[in-house]
Structure formats: C-alpha cells, structure tokens
C-alpha cells in the first residue's frame, strides 16, 4: 500500500513535462434542471515550485478548479496530467478511483477553510492520520511527525483536542497533516477565511515558507490582498480563466 502501482487502467503514456498539465477540461453541474458550467475549457500548465493564487467572485469555479486539481472531483472530459512518483505524469481523468486515492495520499496536501480536523483525535493524531491510512508503522510515523510539530510550533499543543486549540493553531495542525506525506503539491482553499488578521498572517507566512522550500502552492481566495502576494495570479469568472498573470508580466 505504501507504493503506488502505476500500471493500472490509466493509459500509461509517459510525458516529460511540467508538474501539472490541464487540457480542455470541462465540468458541468446540474442545478435543478439547469446545467451550470463549473469549468469551461480550462487550459493550464503549472511548473514545480510555483506559487499561484486563484481569485474570482463566488460561483466563478475557483473551488471547482481546486477540487479538480486535488483529484477530489473528476472533470467530465479533457485531460489532467499530474506528476507522481519518479516525476512520471499520468492522466488522472481516466484513472480508477483507488489509484486516484493513492495519488491524493502520496502527492497532494490539502488545507481547508474550516480545517476539517477530526474532533475526537488529538492534534498529533490528526496530523498522523494520512500516515495511518497509508499503513506506515508507528515508529516511522513518530519520527516523521516530530520535526513537523517542531517546525509548526505545536510541541506544547500536540496532545490537545481540536476544540482546545485556537483557529490559527487548528489551521497549523491541518497544514502539518498536509505535509506528513511530503507532497509536492499543496492546495489551500481559503486558508485564512476563518482566521483573524494576525492568525491569518501567520498561516500565510508558513505556507510561503513551505513554497520557498520547494513545494508547489496553489491558494484559492477572494481576499485581494492575499491573492496579490502570489507570484502567479489566476482570475476566474463563470468557469473560465480570464486572466493568467505570470510573474514576468508584473509591472516593475
């Protein structure tokens, strides 16, 4: 279980390519009997180590894009190539759900607006959970967890339950949980949405530090200030990418 099997029903076409390559992806939702375009003809290439923000009004499809990139949702058509083990890219659209789950576990970290911690587990246990699901033995789990707890400044809070923690601490636990499997891609959906300015600031600093260490960071937000901090800014309206501002486009 700890190692991905790459030869599944997915077409084993291998490309030497960027970390993420999205081709002509569409996703429609049924709202009553009306079809709503969640994603419209999305074309996107993301390189390893990038720092992106996705902005746009509510219902513009930015969360749908993030869920699709995080393999939580599957597009109706198109291709989504994602780098896995040994930098091999696979088209995740045609993968089976079991392999997609493995991809999520091994290559993607999630940070949610409402933390999504399990209330009956302590901070440390919440952070440990992905490793538990991956079947990693307890000794290795502890060894991996210790430096992360240290880095997040949660050493004194590790034994506390989520409801004994502040919002900022909870989000740091969630980030710790996203990091324990050492993913290359970190997806954050409104990570500061439930936090006050100070705590939100700390969380953003932490995420940016991680990006500086090499992790690819994609942040979805409608906070302009936060969005502007990213090196690459994507703007979405009605399921379409209307603006993709690369670092080089920035005015000096």
Q: Does 42 bind other proteins (CB under 8 A)?
A: no
Residue 173 CB partners (closer than 8 Å, separation 6+): 115, 117, 123, 126, 127, 152, 154, 162, 165
Stretch that binds other proteins, among 17-25, 51-59, 125-133, 195-203 (CB under 8 A): 125-133
By rule CB under 8 A, what string of x and - marks binding of each residue 151-180 to other proteins? --------------------------x---
In whole angstroms, what is the distance from residue 148 CA to residue 90 CA?
30
Q: Does 106 bind other proteins (CB under 8 A)?
A: yes
Stretch that binds other proteins, among 43-51, 83-91, 103-111, 198-206 (CB under 8 A): 103-111
Q: Which residue has the tokens 């700890």?
A: 2
Task: Give the one residue of 11, 15, 24, 116 binding other proteins; rule: CB under 8 A.
Answer: 116
Name which of 183, 233, 223 is nearest 203 in CA terms: 223
Task: Give the one residue of 37, 40, 105, 151 binding other proteins; rule: CB under 8 A.
Answer: 105
Which is nearer to other proteins, 32 or 251 (by Cβ)?
32
In whole angstroms, what is the distance from residue 16 CA to residue 50 CA?
18
> C-alpha angle 52/53/54, rounded to 5°?
120
In whole angstroms, what is the distance from residue 131 CA to residue 154 CA?
18
Q: Does 72 bind other proteins (CB under 8 A)?
A: yes
> C-alpha angle 95/11/89, rounded to 5°?
75
Q: Could you write out the DSSP letters of every residue in 165-181?
A: S-HHHHHHHHHHHHHTT
Q: Does 209 bind other proteins (CB under 8 A)?
A: no
Q: Does 101 bind other proteins (CB under 8 A)?
A: yes
Stretch that binds other proteins, among 6-14, 109-117, 191-199, 228-236 (CB under 8 A): 109-117
Residue 159 Cβ, how far from other proteins at the closest point, in Å? 15
Residue 26 CB partners (closer than 8 Å, separation 6+): 37, 39, 40, 41, 42, 75, 76, 77, 78
Q: Does 69 bind other proteins (CB under 8 A)?
A: no
Q: Does 134 bind other proteins (CB under 8 A)?
A: yes
With CB under 8 A as the rule, give the number of residues binding other proteins. 28
Helix (H, G, I), strand (E, B) or coil at 252: coil
Q: Does 104 bind other proteins (CB under 8 A)?
A: yes
Rule CB under 8 A: which residues touch other proteins? 1, 67, 70, 72-73, 97-98, 101-102, 104-106, 110, 112, 116, 118-121, 129-130, 132-135, 137, 177, 181
């Amino acid at each position: 279980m700890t190692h991905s099997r790459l030869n599944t029903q997915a077409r084993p076409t291998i490309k030497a390519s960027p970390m993420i390559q999205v081709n002509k992806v569409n996703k429609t939702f049924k709202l009553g009997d009306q079809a709503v375009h969640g994603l419209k003809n999305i074309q996107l290439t993301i390189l390893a180590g990038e720092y992106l923000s996705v902005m746009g009004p509510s219902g513009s499809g930015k969360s749908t894009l993030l869920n699709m990139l995080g393999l939580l949702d599957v597009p109706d058509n198109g291709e989504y190539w994602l780098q896995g083990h040994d930098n091999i890219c696979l088209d995740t659209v045609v993968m089976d759900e079991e392999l997609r789950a493995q991809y999520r576990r091994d290559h993607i970290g999630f940070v949610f607006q409402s933390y999504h911690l399990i209330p009956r587990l302590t901070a440390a246990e919440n952070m440990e959970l992905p490793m538990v699901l991956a079947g990693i033995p307890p000794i290795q789990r502890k060894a991996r967890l210790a430096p992360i707890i240290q880095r997040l400044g949660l050493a004194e809070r590790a034994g506390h339950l989520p409801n004994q923690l502040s919002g900022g601490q909870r989000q740091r636990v969630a980030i710790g949980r996203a990091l324990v499997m050492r993913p290359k891609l970190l997806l954050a959906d409104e990570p500061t949405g439930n936090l006050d300015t100070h705590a939100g600031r700390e969380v953003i600093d932490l995420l940016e530090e991680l990006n500086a260490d090499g992790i690819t960071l994609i942040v979805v937000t409608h906070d302009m200030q936060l969005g502007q901090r990213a090196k690459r800014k994507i703007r979405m309206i009605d399921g379409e990418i209307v603006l993709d501002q690369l670092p080089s486009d920035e005015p000096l």
